[in-house]
Chain A
Amino acid sequence: MFYGPDFTTNSWENQALIELADLSQPLFFGSLVDTDTKNYLSKLSSTISLKSGLDGFFELRRFKEFRIGFLLVHQKGEAQAWQIGAGGSQDGLTSSIDLEKFNSLYQAVKKSKNGQFTTQQSKWQWLPVGGVFLAETFSFRRFNAIWVISRQEFLPCSNEEVREFRSFAKLLGLWLEGLIEVEFSDLRLAEIMWALEHCPLPLALQDSQGKAIFTNAAFVSSGPPPELSWIPIGKNYELGIGKREDWDATRIDVLHSHKIALLGDLFNTLRHELSNPLFGLGLACELLLGTESPDDVSIVLSEIKKNILRSQLIISNLSKLYSEEHTTNSCDLGQALEETLTLAKSELKTIRKVLPSNGSLEGIIVEGRPLLVVQILFNLLINSSQAMRDSTQTPEIRIEENIQTNSVELIIRDNGPGLPPLIKENLFRPFYTTKQKGHGLGLALSRDLALKIGGDLNYIESPVGATFRLQLKRVL
């Protein structure tokens, strides 16, 4: 497919001259159509790649001082434009650019008398050039385009240079549409292939004779050929889509990250709104405590102060948890348990807690971000507490530790009703819940997190209540 003027006949030179004459630029006859230019134009006629076509431009002697040139292309109706580079550091680059930016430059170039601009003007600073640049616009059936070249310096171009560039750009326009059409059909295909290749499901494409044309990474890595369900693509092709065993797990992962991101945002707002008033209350409380007041008032005041401190502690703990996202990958188990208990204080208020003896977990460092460890513990404690809500006897949660050189086990028992057999089977299944308001992710997520940090989470049979065993990898 070739869209440009047909120069394949031996009289291409004559045709070129006719085209040039049409441009009513007497200048061309004298200077532009030299051997250099002729070579370039004939190369353009035979090239099928926009990039190599644009690259050739820099071999032209008359423009050899221009170190950077690229094309900005917008396919009409699309939400973004593209930059296709050639020459200099922009060599061969294809990247998407903001449509608004494209349009503002397009309009400015159209209105401009000489098409000369400078990046000293802040509105052109997004362009990957530094200094003065020349630009020309093209309007085709399906595309608008801007051709930009720059010497990468702030000296303005001479009038003659500007004139030559614009004349040359008009000539280039004759080929450009065809080259852009080809380039964009390639781009589109490349996008589709990328998406197919990176799809997490195994995919295979075959023709009507059953001959394999393409398989993606998930297909290749799935070991023995996966079972595929086939759907027809047009008349000649079929696309096979495989299943994935761990698809549910992937879903949990996505849900979990969404939840964390949302929580992070909400939490930042909350911290922002709470920390100042709390600080003020604390100061005022301190002030009143320093004045002489009756005993009962002092007791109330110190209780207020204690509660303020507790609130501040929760805020600062949460803030630490969320800011640790990318910093540490290990966690002090003693601290994690303490933080969990602070976070769940109200929920666990009426429950008797039997914890590992004082200090036995302190300094025990396990693998995993503190946020993850706290979240697992929090889920387990809240689950137990909710299970014991209707219990007739005094609810109790007992946490026992079993510390080995390379691992730590926490056994978390409650004395609630325990679990009926049906529930036990589905305990760690995602989206399985016995609670009316539950999302069925708590235990599945906790186990998933535990596995992720090199540990495990299991349910252990016990005569009374429910017992979970959390194994963690000890690093210190």
Chain B
Amino acid sequence: MSKILIIEDEILIAQSLRKFLEKKGHSVETTESGHEAISLIAQNDYDRIVCDLMLQDISGFDVLEESKRRYSIEEMSKIFIIMTAYNSPQVLEKAREYKCEILNKPFEDLRAAMEKIEGGE
């Protein structure tokens, strides 16, 4: 069982993902706000963090950048997973910078996507 944080401002997506993961026995928290995500990450130990890039308040990359205060890049690559609908070169480059996996929206295969989210330590 893992402790998972989902940062996603589309409530339907966040809640559906939460339900799926809870069914599999994980403990899941969600937030729509990047700022809130930053303070949650500072105060909690998550095994896995799914981070959307386009949030209402700040960019998902800001959340990643802020998390560098707490985690090394090595740790981040195990914890964070970037969720995005746009595979632009900039996104890919950033993902490489944080060594994070990318999860493309919409999921082509729901089961595979879930396994990717659960995948980390």
Contacts and interface: CB of A to CB of B under 8 A. Distances in A.
A287 interface: yes
A283 B85 contact: no
B12 interface: yes
Contact of B13 (A283, A290, A312): A283
A279 B110 CA distance: 11
A285 to B, nearest CB: 9
A278 interface: yes
Most buried by B among A280, A283, A287, A312: A283
A276 interface: yes
Interface residues of A, number: 14
B19 interface: yes
Interface string A245-289: 000000000000000000000000000000111111111101100
Interface in B41-98: 85
Contacts of B15: 284
Given A275-B85, A275-B105, A287-B20, A280 B12 contact: yes
B13 A279 contact: yes
A316 to B, nearest CB: 9
Given A284-B12, A286-B110, A312-B106, A279 B20 contact: no
B10 interface: yes
A286 B16 contact: yes
Given A276-B85, A279-B85, A280-B10, A287 B105 contact: no
Nearest to A286: B110
A280 B107 CA distance: 10
Contacts, number: 40
B40 interface: no
B44 to A, nearest CB: 24
A323 to B, nearest CB: 11
A287 B16 CA distance: 7
Contacts of A283: 12-13, 16-17, 20, 107, 110
Given A287-B19, A287-B20, A275 B12 contact: no
Nearest to A316: B106
Most buried by A among B16, B19, B20: B16
Given A281-B12, A286-B110, A276 B19 contact: no
A287 B10 CA distance: 16
Contact of B12 (A277, A290, A312): A277
A281 to B, nearest CB: 7
Contacts of A280: 10-13, 16
Contact of A276 (B10, B16, B23, B110): B10
B112 to A, nearest CB: 13
A283 B50 CA distance: 16
A410 B53 CA distance: 46
Contacts of A287: 16, 19-20
Contacts of A278: 106
Contacts of B105: 275-276, 279
B33 to A, nearest CB: 17
Nearest to B11: A280
Contacts of B20: 283, 287
Interface of B: 10-13, 15-17, 19-20, 23, 85, 105-107, 110
Interface of A: 275-284, 286-287, 290, 312
24 contacts: A275-B106, A276-B10, A276-B13, A276-B105, A277-B10, A277-B12, A279-B10, A279-B13, A279-B105, A279-B107, A280-B10, A280-B11, A280-B13, A282-B106, A283-B12, A283-B16, A283-B17, A283-B107, A283-B110, A284-B12, A286-B16, A286-B110, A287-B19, A290-B23
Closest 3 CB pairs of A and B: A280-B12, A283-B16, A279-B106
